[in-house]
Amino acid sequence: MAESAPIVRMSGIVKQFPGARALDGVDFRLLPGEVHALMGENGAGKSTLIKVLTGVHPVDEGEIELAGRPVAFSGPLAAQQAGISTVYQEVNLCGNLSVAENIFVGREPRKFGRIRWREVYRRADELLDRFDLDVDVSAPLSSCSLAVQQMVAIARAVDVEAKVLILDEPTSSLDADEVAQLFRVMRRLKEQGIAILFVSHFLDQIYEVADRITVLRNGRLVGEYLTRELPQVYLVAKMIGRELAELEKLEGKPLARTTEPLIEARDLGRAGAVNPFTLTIREGEVVGLAGLLGSGRTEIARLLFGADHAGGGSVHMGGKKVTLRSPRAAMNHKIAFCSENRREEGLVDELTVRENIVLALQADRGWSRPVSARKADELVRKYVAALNIKGDPDEPVRTLSGGNQQKVLLARWLIMEPRLLILDEPTRGIDVGAKAEIQRLVVELSDGGMAVLFISAELDEVLRLSHKVGVLRDRTLVAQLDNDDALTTDTLMGKIASGAPS
């Protein structure tokens, strides 16, 4: 690619937060017509760089130029008006507004100042069609799944006439099909000369779309590289500052088929969410659930956790029938659920990292039996280290980077030492290094006798960890496959697509 003048140039950017130097003299440039990946571990400063560029946070030092002119935006609105359209890391939309409004609010088509609602709905429909998304655009956004919300956020950003498009982990809740859609749109925009800044922890995605990579580590610039000149292993080494030990083959103890069934769902189902299914999870067993978005993966988890009421069927634990009427009831049976939706259901922003970690444990013990400070300290220290959580345990959790917040949520459920741990997309938004840590932890726990229900859109992750894989298609559990050497991602993919029983 011939080098043209950069559309965005940031030089010597310094951003100091109370307690953390998020950016320390970072230089960055973005060329028109390129897809530029910003890479780094959780907490490396990627989101901060984006927020500084778009005026969410003021810079402490350094200069920002847009098309050669120095700029300092007062906020996202100003940045948008100057032609920088951004999707921030967490889905930032208004759940109370309709899908269509979320795409158009602030720039609705008007006639004499009057919003033309019909036009709004029509154009929203058209736009989402381009992403192959079939949703009722007049429904409130809060009724949509996280993936749809993420697509809506992307659609909103893409529809703006912009010179620069910034996508901070836009693919974290999407699966392969939608990612493909997104990449198609991105390539088209790129051809139109739009510069795209893209953040993702999925290395495959980076190598698929990015022309150029900038790597950050601990708030410092490591370097800028052409993607085709930087093999994946080197990229990882640059990100984490050392060679990542070859992803060791995670061999837990092979599961003795004789362990007791821990929980059995018999014909459990809920109309509109998931068709009746029968599933047995044994002690120490890791059961993976594979399937496309909307195939009913999360719904199964929610039924087993009592977050939704089952329409029919029963759940048995230790041979006895139990009713899981509420999450509380499930927790009394030592079932824990780490939900995929950390922002809405998980963390309490204003509490410290430590408090967030011990929250569920404390709630479980009741307020009359406080967790002793020493015990809490010990637990927090152990899991902060185990999960490599970067940040001060005594700072509010909202000051952590997105990936580190995810780890805090995970730690909260791990310290509960449940008998069944349900993990819904636990490694989403988590960097390669920490991902391996979490996977190792899952294996360790199951060796210790804990049963794990593991939901992930990444098939190789499911395969690496599970003893058994449940395949979902169209809200039906179509197959349960033992994870032996014969099972590969390809056969799994085939099952998901066809669902034909073998």
Partner 1 sequence: MTATTLPARRFGVPRKYVPVAVTGCLFVAMFVIGGFRYESFATGQVVLNVFIDNAFLLVVAVGMTFVILSGGIDLSVGSVVALTTMVSATLMTGHGWPAWPVILLVLVMGSVLGFAMGAIIHYFEIQPFIVTLAGMFLARGLCYTIGTESISITDPVFTAFAQTRINLGPDLGISPSVLIAAVVVLVAGYVLHYTRLGRSVYAVGGNENSALLMGLPVARTKIAVYTISGFCSALGGILLSFYMLSGYGLHAVGMELDAIAAVVIGGALLTGGSGYLLGTVLGVLVLGLTQTILSFEGTLSSWWTRIFIGLLLLAFILLQRLIGVRRSLRPSGS
Residue ranges that bind Mg ion, judged by CB under 5 A: 47, 89, 401-402
Closest contact distance (angstroms) between CB of 301 and Mg ion is 25
Closest contact distance (angstroms) between CB of 43 and ligand ATP is 4
Q: Which does 20 bind (CB under 5 to 8 A by kind): Mg ion, ligand ATP, partner 1, none?
A: ligand ATP
Closest contact distance (angstroms) between CB of 453 and ligand ATP is 25
Question: CA 462, CA 179: separation in Å to the nearest integer?
Answer: 19
- Chain positions 23 to 42 lying near ligand ATP, rule: CB under 6 A, are 40, 42
Question: Among residues 239 and 335, whose Cβ is nearest to partner 1?
Answer: 335
Q: Does residue 224 contact residue 216 with C-beta atoms inside 8 Å?
A: no
Using CB under 8 A as the criterion, which residues of the chain lie in contact with partner 1 when the complex forms?
56, 75-77, 79-81, 86, 88, 92-97, 101-102, 105-106, 108, 110, 113-115, 117, 132-136, 139-140, 142-148, 156, 173, 175, 177-178, 272-273, 291-299, 302, 307-308, 339-341, 344-345, 424-425
What tokens were used for 34? 């390129």
Question: CA 53, CA 46: separation in Å to the nearest integer?
Answer: 11
User: Given the rule CB under 6 A, which of 17-25, 275-283, 305-313, 411-419 is the region that contacts ligand ATP?
Assistant: 17-25
Q: Does residue 483 contact residue 463 with C-beta atoms inside 8 Å?
A: yes
Q: Does residue 207 contact residue 227 with C-beta atoms inside 8 Å?
A: yes
Q: Which does 338 bind (CB under 5 to 8 A by kind): partner 1, ligand ATP, Mg ion, none?
A: none
Question: CA 471, CA 102: separation in Å to the nearest integer?
Answer: 33
Calculate the alpha carbon distances from 78 to 110, 137, 156, 325 in Å.
Answer: 21, 28, 16, 49
Closest contact distance (angstroms) between CB of 94 and partner 1 is 4
- Supply the DSSP symbol for 449: T
What tokens were used for 75? 């906020």
**Given the structure tokens 């910034």, which residue do they identify?**
166
What tokens were used for 407? 């780890």
Closest contact distance (angstroms) between CB of 400 and partner 1 is 16
Q: Which residue number is nearest to ligand ATP in terms of Cβ?
A: 403
Question: Among residues 47 and 295, whose Cβ is nearest to ligand ATP?
Answer: 47
Q: Which of 131, 133, 121, 122 is nearest to 97 (CA)?
A: 121
Strand, coil or helix: what is 286?
Answer: strand
Question: Among residues 432 and 479, whose Cβ is nearest to partner 1?
Answer: 479
Phi, psi of 321 (to 5 degrees): -75, 135
CA 11 to the chain's CA centroid: 30
Among 6, 45, 284, 470, binds ligand ATP (CB under 6 A): 45
Question: CA 175, CA 190: separation in Å to the nearest integer?
Answer: 22
Which residues does 273 contact at the CB level (< 8 Å), separation at least 6? 296, 299, 302, 303, 308, 475
Closest contact distance (angstroms) between CB of 89 and Mg ion is 4
Q: Does residue 438 contact residue 445 with C-beta atoms inside 8 Å?
A: no
User: According to the 3-state scheme, what is the secondary structure of 98-119?
Assistant: EHHHHHHCCCCCEECCEECHHH
Q: Which does 391 bind (CB under 5 to 8 A by kind): Mg ion, partner 1, ligand ATP, none?
A: ligand ATP
Q: Which does 43 bind (CB under 5 to 8 A by kind): Mg ion, partner 1, ligand ATP, none?
A: ligand ATP
- Chain positions 250 to 279 lying near ligand ATP, rule: CB under 6 A, are none
- Chain positions 72 to 101 lying near ligand ATP, rule: CB under 6 A, are 89
- Chain positions 385 to 444 lying near ligand ATP, rule: CB under 6 A, are 390-391, 399-404
Calculate the alpha carbon distances from 456 to 55, 130, 291, 339, 472 in Å.
Answer: 34, 26, 9, 12, 12
Among 47, 54, 446, 466, binds ligand ATP (CB under 6 A): 47
Question: Among residues 40 and 284, whose Cβ is nearest to Mg ion?
Answer: 40
Among 9, 46, 428, 468, binds ligand ATP (CB under 6 A): 46
Closest contact distance (angstroms) between CB of 173 and partner 1 is 7
Phi, psi of 71 (to 5 degrees): -135, 155
Among 44, 153, 164, 471, binds ligand ATP (CB under 6 A): 44
Closest contact distance (angstroms) between CB of 89 and partner 1 is 10
Q: Does residue 184 contact residue 215 with C-beta atoms inside 8 Å?
A: no
Question: Among residues 47 and 483, whose Cβ is nearest to ligand ATP?
Answer: 47
Q: Does residue 376 contact residue 358 with C-beta atoms inside 8 Å?
A: yes
Closest contact distance (angstroms) between CB of 60 and ligand ATP is 13
User: Given the rule CB under 6 A, which of 16-24, 285-293, 307-315, 353-361 is the region that contacts ligand ATP?
Assistant: 16-24
Closest contact distance (angstroms) between CB of 400 and ligand ATP is 5
Q: Assess 450 for contact with ligand ATP (CB under 6 A).
A: no
The CA R_g of the chain, rounded to the nearest whole Å, is 23
Largest CA distance in the chain: 74
Half-sphere exposure of 100 (CA within 13 A, CB side): 19
Q: Which does 323 bind (CB under 5 to 8 A by kind): ligand ATP, partner 1, Mg ion, none?
A: none
Strand pairing report for 35-39 and 212-217? parallel
Q: Which does 298 bind (CB under 5 to 8 A by kind): Mg ion, ligand ATP, partner 1, none?
A: partner 1
Question: CA 103, CA 124: separation in Å to the nearest integer?
Answer: 7
Residues that bind ligand ATP (CB under 6 A): 17, 20, 22, 40, 42-48, 89, 390-391, 399-404
